[in-house]
């Protein structure tokens, strides 16, 4: 029987590559998305992966969306908390709204995504929780006090969940992508982006598939003893 995987923010960017890689590895995949209906239906048309719309910042909506996925595909064995946003601004210009939106989506969104599937994973004695953090959660980043706080928070989440889930056959790990060629990074002003690429020893942005392959490995049976870890995929930009 195929395992079931849920990928939040799974119809675009890194999430789309993760959904596709898991499908290619034999999982039944559900891709959640928040707002871009057009991109979601194009993604489903192209890949055959069903998409489900809800806002990960909303606990009740997450619970209801996850219940629908489980009714359609079966109990979720692998959850990839990938959905994330940026609201970059130097700290002296960052508004409380910019702070709160990023916390609600990137950090509370992880709680809202994992909490509803956790009891089932405990009962079935198997689960994979994979959270997409960031190099900027490891090293901090100019204009990203909000985002870096959430991505550092992801690491605390998986290290704690790993200890709680280990005896129930559940692993929880984070992947920390560096700068990957997605819309999010392309939205950074070109001059700033060029200066960031100059700091990456690999001399290039990463590809979404390079992150997806890390996730597929962490989801596999081979990764059972990897628990509470952080995989960095950043072209040697930063070591932690």
Q: Which residues are catalytic?
A: 147
17 binds ligand CAA (CB under 6 A): no
- DSSP state letter for 92: G
Rounded to a whole number of angstroms, the minimum distance from the CB of residue 151 to ligand CAA is: 7
User: Can you tell me the distance from the alpha carbon of 86 to that of 98, in angstroms, rounded to the nearest whole number?
Assistant: 9
Exactly one of 91, 142, 164, 194 binds ligand CAA (CB under 6 A); which one? 142
**Helix (H), strand (E) counts: the chain:** 11, 7
Collapsing DSSP to helix, strand or coil, 52 comes out as: strand
Rounded to a whole number of angstroms, the minimum distance from the CB of residue 188 to ligand CAA is: 5
What is the helix (H) or strand (E) element at residue 132, kind and residue range? strand 127-132
Exactly one of 73, 83, 143, 231 binds ligand CAA (CB under 6 A); which one? 143
103 binds ligand CAA (CB under 6 A): no
Counting residues that bind ligand CAA (by CB under 6 A) gives: 19
Exactly one of 88, 109, 158, 210 binds ligand CAA (CB under 6 A); which one? 88
134 binds ligand CAA (CB under 6 A): yes
Rounded to a whole number of angstroms, the minimum distance from the CB of residue 215 to ligand CAA is: 15
Residues 178-197 that bind ligand CAA (CB under 6 A): 179, 184-185, 188-189, 192
Instruction: Name the CA dihedral angle for 177, 183, 185, 186, rounded to a multiple of 10 degrees.
Output: 150
Q: Which is nearer to ligand CAA, 77 or 154 (CB)?
A: 154
Rounded to a whole number of angstroms, the minimum distance from the CB of residue 17 to ligand CAA is: 14
Question: Is the four-CA dihedral 106, 107, 108, 112 of positive or negative sign?
Answer: positive
Show the DSSP H helices in the chain as ranges: 13-24, 37-47, 59-73, 96-102, 109-114, 118-124, 135-139, 145-165, 183-186, 190-197, 208-219
Q: Which residues bind ligand CAA (CB under 6 A)?
A: 86, 88-90, 93, 134-136, 141-144, 147, 179, 184-185, 188-189, 192
């Amino acid at each position: 029987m195929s395992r079931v995987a849920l990928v939040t923010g799974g119809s675009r960017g890194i999430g789309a590559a993760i959904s596709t890689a898991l499908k290619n590895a034999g999982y039944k995949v559900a891709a959640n998305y928040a707002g871009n209906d057009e991109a979601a239906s194009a993604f489903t048309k192209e890949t055959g992966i069903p998409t489900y719309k809800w806002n990960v910042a909303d606990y009740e909506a997450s619970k209801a969306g996850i219940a629908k996925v489980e009714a359609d595909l079966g109990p979720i064995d692998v959850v990839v908390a990938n959905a994330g946003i940026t609201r970059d601004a130097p700290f002296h210009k960052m508004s409380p709204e910019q702070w709160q939106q990023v916390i609600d989506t990137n950090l509370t969104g992880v709680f809202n995504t994992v909490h509803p599937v956790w009891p089932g994973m405990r009962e079935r004695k198997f689960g994979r929780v994979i959270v997409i953090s960031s190099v900027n959660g490891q090293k901090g980043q100019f204009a990203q006090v909000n985002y870096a706080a959430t991505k550092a928070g992801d690491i605390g989440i998986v290290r704690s969940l790993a200890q709680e889930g280990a005896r129930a056959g559940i692993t929880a790990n984070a992947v920390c992508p560096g700068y990957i060629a997605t819309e999010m990074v392309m939205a950074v002003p070109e001059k700033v982006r060029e200066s960031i690429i100059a700091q990456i020893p690999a001399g290039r942005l990463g590809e979404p598939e390079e992150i997806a392959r890390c996730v597929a490995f962490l989801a596999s049976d081979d990764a059972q003893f990897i628990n509470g870890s952080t995989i960095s995929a950043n072209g040697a930009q930063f070591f932690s």
